[in-house]
Amino acid sequence: MCNDSMKNPLLTKKNIRRITEFFNSERGMKLIPYGLGAKYISWFCNTDFAIQRFFKKKLPIVLEFLETFPGKWDEKKVKSGFFTMNYLHGWRSSSISHMSGMTFKRRVKITGLDVFKQLYDEKKGIILLGTHYGLPAASFSIFPRLGYSNFYTILGEKGAESVKFKGMHAKMKPKVLVFKRGGESDAFSMLFEAKELLEKGNILHLLGDGSHGRASHTLNFLGKLRGYRATFAELALLTDSPIIPVFITPEKGKIIVDISTPLDLGDPEADREERVQNIVQQYSDLLEEKWMENPSFINGGFMEMYNRLIQA
């Protein structure tokens, strides 16, 4: 038995599952204050019980990842950080929508908003490019809370029906384009609708490493070959919309929103395919930097994906 479960008899799988279920319920997302919930997550994910027993099945993913991931890392810190990030991340994202105005200002720290506002004021559509790193779903309520009522996000059918989305405050939810995992006709239909929204000056949030369209570009990503879907680049060139990457991560009870400078769309007279390739490469380079800053923030499924990639 783990030392901390001997000291704290409440640390049992049954009790933790009950707590987890409450956090992930619509009631829990509404009632649990962000600060209190974040403290619980940080405390629990640093216990030996969590690392050795509760997340036991996830441990091999982290250990295999560290074997091939570049650089030297503190194994214990990466493990506890990874579990802290991936445990109850749906609750984190949804609970933001229930914060009071004062709590939101105190908890959510945003950099780069001036650049975003400047481009938005030009009345052009904006592609807000998220990623499976940190808390991408936090964008769902953060931007509507900032007053952007024309904020749209692309979600898969499961995401649109998930508790973390349904548990959000009704007034803070984004407008949604539901992405069906069907054939090319479904992808084309979604792309056409997204194009129209951007041409009307709306904000479109999508994940640059998501599954919208086919993986058409393979790049060297931290020593391995990784495929990307260029949907965001194609949309930008079709509508002349700026692409603004955004990264959202938790930090000591706060939410850090890093709005990056727009990606370079290249010379309009240049070859279109070369422009798309360059845009995707810029995004990949930026994502590499983030992964190297803190691999603990990598989404669990994408850490598994990296483990399966072949060497470049």
| 137 and 67 part of one domain | no
* Confidence at residue 152, expressed as pLDDT on a 0 to 100 scale: 95
* Confidence at residue 291, expressed as pLDDT on a 0 to 100 scale: 97
| 165 and 16 part of one domain | no
Among 89, 114, 145, the domain boundary falls at 89
For residue 188, CA distances in Å to 185, 210, 213, 214 come to 5, 16, 8, 11
- Number of domains the chain contains: 2
Calpha distance 296→77 (Å, rounded): 8
| 123 and 225 part of one domain | yes
Residues 91/164, Cβ–Cβ less than 8 Å:
yes
Q: Which helix (H) or strand (E) holds 190?
A: helix 184-199
| 53 and 172 part of one domain | no
Calpha distance 60→63 (Å, rounded): 5
Q: Give first-to-last CA distance, the chain, whole Å.
A: 42
Does the CA dihedral 180-298-286-96 come out positive or negative? positive
| 184 and 158 part of one domain | yes
What is the extent of the structural domain holding 16?
Answer: 3-89
| 285 and 232 part of one domain | yes
For residue 114, CA distances in Å to 64, 121, 124, 260, 264 come to 41, 11, 16, 11, 18
Which DSSP string do the residues of 19-53 spell out, in sequence order?
Answer: HHHHHTSHHHHHHS-HHHHHHHHHHHHTSHHIIII
Among 59, 89, 119, the domain boundary falls at 89
In a domain, 211, yes or no: yes
**179: closest CA among 205, 203, 158, 200?**
158
| 131 and 50 part of one domain | no
In a domain, 159, yes or no: yes
**215: closest CA among 291, 298, 305, 311?**
305
In a domain, 309, yes or no: no
| 26 and 159 part of one domain | no
Which residues are 228's β-sheet partners? 217
* Confidence at residue 183, expressed as pLDDT on a 0 to 100 scale: 54
Residues 264/278, Cβ–Cβ less than 8 Å:
yes
In a domain, 295, yes or no: yes
Residues 307/242, Cβ–Cβ less than 8 Å:
no
Q: Quick count: other Cβ atoms within 10 Å of Cβ 53?
A: 16
* Confidence at residue 162, expressed as pLDDT on a 0 to 100 scale: 73
Residues 243/298, Cβ–Cβ less than 8 Å:
no
| 145 and 230 part of one domain | yes
In a domain, 308, yes or no: no
> Which residues, 6+ apart, have CB-to-CB distance to 9 below 8 Å?
none
In a domain, 188, yes or no: yes
In a domain, 145, yes or no: yes
* Confidence at residue 186, expressed as pLDDT on a 0 to 100 scale: 66
Token duo for residue 311: 């060497």
| 81 and 136 part of one domain | no
* Confidence at residue 257, expressed as pLDDT on a 0 to 100 scale: 97
Calpha distance 146→246 (Å, rounded): 15
In a domain, 96, yes or no: no
Calpha distance 229→210 (Å, rounded): 7
| 53 and 150 part of one domain | no
Compute mean pLDDT per 10 residues along the chain, 312 residues long, and list them: 61 94 92 95 93 93 95 93 93 91 95 95 94 93 93 81 78 85 66 93 92 73 94 95 96 94 95 96 97 96 95 90
Among 89, 120, 150, the domain boundary falls at 89
Query: pTM score, two decimals?
Result: 0.91
| 47 and 107 part of one domain | no
* Confidence at residue 212, expressed as pLDDT on a 0 to 100 scale: 52
